[in-house]
Each structure stands twice: as C-alpha cells, then as structure tokens.
Amino acid sequence: MVDPLGYMDFHSLMSKSKLILTDSGNIQEESITIKKPCITLRHTSARWETILLKANILFPPIGKTTWTKLKKNAHHKKTQILMMTM
C-alpha cells in the first residue's frame, strides 16, 4: 500500500514500476499511457479498452488468501508488491 502522493510523485512512482496492481479505474487508464502492465483487482472494469488492448487484466481478489499468495510469491522472487489506489 502507498500513502497518498502528489500527482508528480505518483506518476514518477508508476513510471519506475514494472507492474501496477490497482483497483482504480483512473490508474488503469494512466498505466496504458505510460506503457506499464496493469492488474486490476476487481471482478469487472469500466475501462474495457485497456483489457481489449491486453494492457490490463482482471484479477478478482479472494479475501486474504490472494494477498498472502501475492506476498509469498513476491518474497520468493525478491520483488516488491505495490498496490496503488485512489
């Protein structure tokens, strides 16, 4: 999780990311403009164009099990998970 950031700091952080995890429609749109892959933690998306362009996939969260698996996998690969919400 990320504490609230100003727009420029937030954009800089997204630009340096390899992958963006979000539940925000705005961030789905922003990720495609900076050419970063996005995983949307929702069952549906109003930003269908990002999915059609294969720049975004839906990954419906299933309680704490989902986060436990993501964190364990990230730790194994020595990467950091960053979830951005707005």
pLDDT of residue 68: 66
Has residue 36 been placed in a domain?
Answer: yes
Q: Is residue 1 part of a domain?
A: no
CA dist 55 and 71 (Å) reads 22
How distant, in Å, are the alpha carbons of 16, 57, 60, 76 from that of 9?
11, 25, 28, 28
2 lies in some domain: no
Residue 78 lies in a domain: yes
pLDDT of 78 reads 47
For residue 66, tell me if it sits in a domain: yes
Domain that holds residue 40: 7-84
Q: How many domains does the chain have?
A: 1
Does residue 68 belong to any structural domain of this protein? yes
Tell me, yes or no, whether 59 lies in a domain. yes
Judge whether 32 lies within some domain: yes
Q: Which residues of the chain have pLDDT under 70?
A: 1-2, 63-86
CATH of the domain at 52: 3.40.50.2000
